[in-house]
């Protein structure tokens, strides 16, 4: 099917012309190496949450593991970074490569729901996220984090991570902290909320599998 082939993206399991079997794999595999970090990401948007996360940053391992589970994304993230400096480069670069992987796996975005929003409670914290896989990069950020650190992790890096993500996934993503006092809960709620919103936005809309959900006819 032409349309299913068009939806295929990324570097894995490309359907070849003339093949009778349908291949709708929405997967990507990205490697990015700089003087500061070496990041490898594998993503399957239509997974079940199976993950292998080894970032060298303990707090980000925790966040990305729950991101995969709540998004039901099969996700591998391996990072070898200069954490002897601090966690900045690793955290930012993982956001960049994860964003690239989403863009590659989505391809031309045929059939997607496009929008997703979630209000996610985590104890006292209540975190709203809303995403539009628009092709335009924007981060709406109203997520005050009361402490500078959670464990050894600098909490200001959470925004850096999501900036890297939206710039490379080319999506609009808003975060609003509706309530919250505990930094760990606020950040964890934000990652879970974003995962749920993205899960909805990337999902294939029944009955509109062949449509690109834009009156412009393109989402890039
Ligand atoms: Mn936790």
Q: 3-class secondary structure for the chain?
A: CHHHHHHCECCCCCCCCCCCCCCCCEEEEEEEECCCEEEEEEEECCCCCCEEEECCCHHHHHHHHHHHHHHCCEEEEEEEECCCCCCHHHHHHHHHHHHHHHHHHHCCCCCECCEEEEEEEECCEEEEEEEECCCCCEEEEECCCCCCEECCEECCHHHHHHHHHHHHHCCEEEEEEEECCCHHHHHHHHHHHHHHHHHHHHCECCCCCCCCCCCCCCCC
Compute, in angstroms, the gap from residue 129 CA to the centroid of ligand 1. Answer: 18
Going from the Cα of 62 to the center of ligand 1, the distance in angstroms, rounded, reads 7
Greater pLDDT, 220 or 177 = 177
**Distance from residue 158's CA to the centre of ligand 1 (Å):** 14
pLDDT score of 23: 56
Mean pLDDT of 117-146: 98
Q: 151 C-alpha to center of ligand 1: Å?
A: 11
Distance from the CA of 63 to the center of ligand 1, in angstroms? 8
| C-alpha 20 – ligand 1 centre gap (Å) | 46
- Using 50, 70 and 90 to split pLDDT, how confident is the model at 24? confident
Q: How far is the CA of 214 from the centre of ligand 1 (A)?
A: 37
From ligand 1's centre to the CA of 61, what distance in Å? 11
Å from CA of 167 to ligand 1 middle: 26
Domain coordinates in residue numbering, the chain = 2-11+26-202
Q: Is the domain 2-11+26-202 a CATH 3.40.1110.10 member?
A: no
Q: What is the pLDDT of residue 220?
A: 83
What spacing in Å lies between the alpha carbon of 174 and ligand 1's midpoint? 22
Mean pLDDT, residues 183-198 taken together: 98
pLDDT recorded at residue 80: 98
Taking the centre of ligand 1 as the mean of its atom positions, its distance from the CA of residue 209, in whole angstroms, is 36
């Amino acid at each position: 099917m032409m349309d299913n082939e068009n939806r295929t993206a990324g570097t894995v399991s490309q359907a070849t012309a003339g093949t009778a079997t349908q291949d709708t794999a929405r997967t990507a595999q990205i490697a990015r190496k700089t003087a500061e970090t070496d990041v490898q990401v594998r993503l399957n948007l239509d997974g079940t949450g199976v993950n292998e996360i080894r970032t060298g940053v303990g707090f980000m391992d925790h966040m990305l593991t729950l991101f995969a589970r709540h998004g039901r994304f099969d996700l591998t993230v391996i990072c070898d970074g200069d954490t002897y400096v601090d966690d900045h480069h690793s955290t930012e670069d993982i956001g960049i490569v994860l964003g690239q992987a989403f863009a590659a796996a989505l391809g031309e975005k045929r059939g997607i729901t496009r929008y997703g929003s979630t209000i996610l409670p985590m104890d006292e914290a209540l975190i709203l996220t809303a995403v539009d896989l628009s092709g335009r990069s924007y981060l709406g950020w109203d997520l005050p984090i009361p402490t500078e650190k959670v464990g050894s992790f600098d909490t200001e890096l959470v925004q850096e991570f999501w900036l890297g993500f939206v710039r490379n996934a080319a999506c609009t993503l808003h975060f609003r902290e509706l309530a919250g006092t505990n930094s760990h809960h606020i950040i964890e709620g934000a990652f879970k909320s974003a995962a749920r919103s993205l899960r909805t936005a990337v999902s294939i809309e029944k009955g509109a599998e062949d449509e690109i959900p834009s009156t412009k006819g393109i989402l890039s």
